[in-house]
């Protein structure tokens, strides 16, 4: 997200809303006659890690835009195993207009991007999750309108979702407060970039703590994510123990400002957030999930110059 200028971020969010207005279920536009700006275009979708929202949103969104998508799971190609990353990038670039990659290592995204001759979209890596941040920011703007001056509190693991959310939030003028258990802090380099963006955009300095309630106090948005990401299953018992006190429940939400909302990128687990909060009017998780489609549509259209 920090690779985007503030104007480019604003443009993608506005285009995402335009996609929803045009193709959404509330639209009066006939799906048959709706614009198909990506007719004749295609996206190859590399998935080292499974996902409901990323796959369904991309395939459905590309179809609505008139293009085609091709799912490439671990059993379809052996990325960087039997064929080098460089060769994969060069071959897919000959077939497809875009490459979307959901991978374990961020270096894989960088390697694909280095050698591909078409745009490469990061659909998730261990360091970043920019498409999720676009969906989150869209949900917050839908709810609050202008989010400048609002305070966003993160409670949980200092992971890829946090990284882009604090970058994007700072670019939109949000105050960032982060609570992570000791040993689970955000990437130091990304944290420093966030602090610079906060200063550039006139927000408060990034607040860091290991106490969940301290981060949530005075916040307008409370966000958490899974404590155990894919590939960390063997650490489950240890992580659940070390994240004790980090569940977002009614008591914790009560520390936030009146009217505060809750976000979670899904899938969720009960230890991370109580049902009372997850299914409450404060929860924006399902509009947030829907926005994954409008935002990836906007990114694909923008990358191909079909605005």
Q: Say what the pLDDT of residue 230 is.
A: 67
How far is 190 from 196, CA to CA, in rounded Å?
Answer: 10
Q: Say what the pLDDT of residue 253 is.
A: 98
Q: Say what the pLDDT of residue 228 is.
A: 82
Residue 42 near residue 95, CB atoms below 8 Å: yes
Beta bridge partner(s), residue 99: 44, 120
pLDDT at 223 over 90: yes
Q: What is the mean pLDDT of residues 27-56?
A: 94
* pLDDT tens track for 76-105: 887 777 888 899 999 999 999 999 999 999
Beta bridge partner(s), residue 100: 45, 121
Q: Say what the pLDDT of residue 158 is.
A: 97
Q: Which of 296, 270, 302 is nearest to 135 (CA)?
A: 296
As a whole-number percent, the residues of the chain with pLDDT over 90 amount to: 91
Residue 193 near residue 2, CB atoms below 8 Å: yes
Whether residue 19 lies in the annotated active site: no
* pLDDT tens track for 166-179: 999 999 999 999 99
List, in order, residues 6 or more apart from 114 with CB less than 8 Å away.
Answer: 86, 89
Name the pLDDT band for 303 (thresholds 50, 70, 90): very high
Q: Residue 45 carries which DSSP code?
A: E
As a whole-number percent, the residues of the chain with pLDDT over 70 amount to: 99
Q: Say what the pLDDT of residue 75 is.
A: 84
Q: What is the mean pLDDT of residues 258-268?
A: 97
Q: Which residue has the tokens 């000791």?
A: 182
Q: Which residue has the tokens 């230890």?
A: 271
Q: Say what the pLDDT of residue 115 is.
A: 98
Q: Say what the pLDDT of residue 153 is.
A: 98
As a whole number of Å, the end-to-end CA separation of the chain is 19
Q: Say what the pLDDT of residue 31 is.
A: 82
Report phi then psi at 145, rounded to 5: 85, -130
The CA-based angle 182-232-234, given to 5 degrees, is: 100
pLDDT at 241 over 80: yes
Name the pLDDT band for 43 (thresholds 50, 70, 90): very high
With residue 237 as reference, give the H or E element that holds it: helix 236-242
Q: What is the mean pLDDT of residues 204-221?
A: 98
pLDDT at 213 over 90: yes
Q: Say what the pLDDT of residue 57 is.
A: 98
Catalytic hit among 92, 212, 265, 273: 265
The residue length of the chain stands at: 307
> pTM of the predicted model, to two decimals?
0.96
pLDDT at 127 over 70: yes
Q: Which of 269, 270, 255, 171 is nearest to 221 (CA)?
A: 255
* pLDDT tens track for 130-164: 999 999 999 999 999 999 999 999 999 999 999 99
Q: Say what the pLDDT of residue 83 is.
A: 87
């Amino acid at each position: 997200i920090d690779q985007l200028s503030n104007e480019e971020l604003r443009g993608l969010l506005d285009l995402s809303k335009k996609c929803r207005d045009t193709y959404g279920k509330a639209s009066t536009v006939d799906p048959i006659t709706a614009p198909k700006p990506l007719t004749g275009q295609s996206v190859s979708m590399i998935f080292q890690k499974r996902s409901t929202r990323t796959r369904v949103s991309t395939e459905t969104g590309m179809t609505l835009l008139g293009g085609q998508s091709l799912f490439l799971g671990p059993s379809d190609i052996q990325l960087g195993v039997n064929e080098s990353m460089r060769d994969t990038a060069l071959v897919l670039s000959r077939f497809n207009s875009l490459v979307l990659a959901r991978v374990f290592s961020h270096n894989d995204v960088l390697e694909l991007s280095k050698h591909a001759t078409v745009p490469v979209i990061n659909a998730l890596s261990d360091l970043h999750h920019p498409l999720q941040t676009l969906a989150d920011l869209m949900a917050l703007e839908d709810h609050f309108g202008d989010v400048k001056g609002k305070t966003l509190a993160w409670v949980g693991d200092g992971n890829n979702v946090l990284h882009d959310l604090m970058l994007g939030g700072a670019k939109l003028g949000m105050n960032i407060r982060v609570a992570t258990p000791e040993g689970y802090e955000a990437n130091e380099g990304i944290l420093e970039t966030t602090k610079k963006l906060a200063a550039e955009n006139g927000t408060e300095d990034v607040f860091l703590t290991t106490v969940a309630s301290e981060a949530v106090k005075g916040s307008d948005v409370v966000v958490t994510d899974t404590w155990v990401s894919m590939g960390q299953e063997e650490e489950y018992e240890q992580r659940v123990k070390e994240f004790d006190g980090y569940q977002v429940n009614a008591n914790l939400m009560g520390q936030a400002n009146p009217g505060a909302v809750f976000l979670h990128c899904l899938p969720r687990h009960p230890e991370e957030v109580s049902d009372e909060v997850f299914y409450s009017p404060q929860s924006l998780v399902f509009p947030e999930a829907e926005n994954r489609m409008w935002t990836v549509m906007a990114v694909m259209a923008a990358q191909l110059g079909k605005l």
